Amino acid sequence: MKRLHFSLVALACLTTAWSVAAQDDTLARNLVATCANCHGTDGHAVKASGMEALAGADAAKTLQKLHEFKSGVRPTTVMQQIVKGYTDEELALIVGYLARQK
């Protein structure tokens, strides 16, 4: 009886953990879709466009770049304006999702 009880709790925890992760992943996916118009679907930029490929890019490096755009350290034409529309948590989700793309 006790064992069953335990495994049910474990199962419940697992399910909760899974759905939070799944929700985050969907959120990250949706956020990355807002980048795709310029950077390609899931960060796979069209080669001939000359845009840097973000798919598979190192998360920490991309995040640092985004923060430099945000703070103004790294001057750009449009990214410093767009990045300010996203929270730091969202930027972290975005770079994590991009890094996982092959």
Nearest-approach distance from CB 1 to another protein, in angstroms? 29
- Residues 6 or more apart whose CB falls under 8 angstroms from that of 91 comprise 63, 66, 67, 83
Among residues 6 and 71, whose Cβ is nearest to another protein?
71
**Nearest distance from C-beta of residue 60 to another protein, angstroms:** 23
CB of 7 to another protein, least distance (A): 19
Burial class, 97, CB count within 10 angstroms (exposed 0-12 / middle 13-18 / buried 19+): buried
Residues that bind another protein (CB under 8 A): 22, 26-27, 29-31, 33-34, 36-41, 45-46, 48-51, 77-78, 81-86, 90
